[in-house]
Amino acid sequence: MPIKWKTTEIETPEGKVKVTHWEKHDPQKLMEALQHNQIDRKGKNSIVTVHKFGSHLIAAKLFWSREATNRFKTLRELERRRLAIVETPVALVELSGEPLRSQIVTLYKKGTVTLKEFLNDLRYGVETKRKAALSAAAKLALLHAAGFTHSHPHENNIVVDKHGNAQLIDYKLIEKNIDSLDTRDPLYFEHWSGLIHGNTTTAEKFYQRLKDHYRQVKEKAQRQTIASR
């Protein structure tokens, strides 16, 4: 079932905010979670805040309003089409005051670390690391087959669970495919394989394997899309 949305205006100590949220969520509780239940900060500039919201963890990021509206629209479209979700949208919080700014709230992917942390973790062997990279390439392939590019799938914009299942995050740069834009994302495969294999020859072989896997998953997804039309 696609998410049902609702918009509610709420008074806060900082002024009025307009919250576009899941119909089944209490927007007041969501605002309280954003204001009081912060449990972590993430990212180079610590701009992503992580909050407890009922049984969920949610991630909030602040943007200029126009940017937020556009990004949120893309996230909603991806969710509605159930094709290749990068992050599940939870809310758009339009703050009052000048300059106009808004927060995008998404579901935080629990129990994950970044691909970079995963590939640097000595507890995992080469096969598990390869599995994580292959899984990330497959997720990109699905996104591309759906007609979107990520544009910046570096190892901090991918998170991995302890089994090596990768998920894409960071919707900042996602755009609708324009011609051959999706040739850019797979360039990152070279970097991932370099992080797994210090040895140039092995890294090159695994890079090829990532590209093959990417192509196979993408072609299969495209065939399925055509068949279901």
Ligand X SMILES: Nc1ncnc2c1ncn2[C@@H]1O[C@H](COP(=O)(O)OP(=O)(O)OP(=O)(O)O)[C@@H](O)[C@H]1O
Q: Which residues bind Mg ion (CB under 5 A)?
A: 157, 170
Question: Taking a C-beta distance cutoff of 8 angstroms, is the pair 149, 168 a contact?
Answer: no
When the beta carbons of 114 and 193 are compared against ligand X, the nearer one is 114
When the beta carbons of 20 and 149 are compared against Mg ion, the nearer one is 149
Query: SS3 sequence, 147-206?
Result: CEECCCCCCCCEEECCCCCEEECCHHHCEECCCCHHHCHHHHHHHHHHHHCCCHHHHHHH
* Contact partner at residue 47 from Mg ion, ligand X, none, CB < 5 to 8 Å by partner kind: ligand X
* Total number of residues that touch ligand X (CB under 6 A): 18
Q: Site map for ligand X, 3-42, x if CB under 6 A?
A: ---------------------------------------x
When the beta carbons of 170 and 182 are compared against Mg ion, the nearer one is 170
| φ, ψ (nearest 5 deg) of residue 25 | -90, 150
- Window 103-132: residues binding ligand X (CB under 6 A): 106, 108-109, 112, 114
State how far the Cα of 129 lies from the Cα of 115, in Å rounded to an integer.
9
| Single-letter amino acid, residue 152 | H
What's the Cα-to-Cα distance from 151 to each of 14, 16, 216, rounded to whole Å?
Answer: 35, 35, 20
165 binds ligand X (CB under 6 A): no
3-state secondary structure of 8: strand
* Contact partner at residue 114 from Mg ion, ligand X, none, CB < 5 to 8 Å by partner kind: ligand X
State how far the Cα of 32 lies from the Cα of 201, in Å rounded to an integer.
53
155 binds ligand X (CB under 6 A): no
* Contact partner at residue 94 from ligand X, Mg ion, none, CB < 5 to 8 Å by partner kind: none
Name the residues that contact ligand X, by CB under 6 A. Answer: 42-45, 47-48, 59, 87, 106, 108-109, 112, 114, 156-157, 159, 169-170
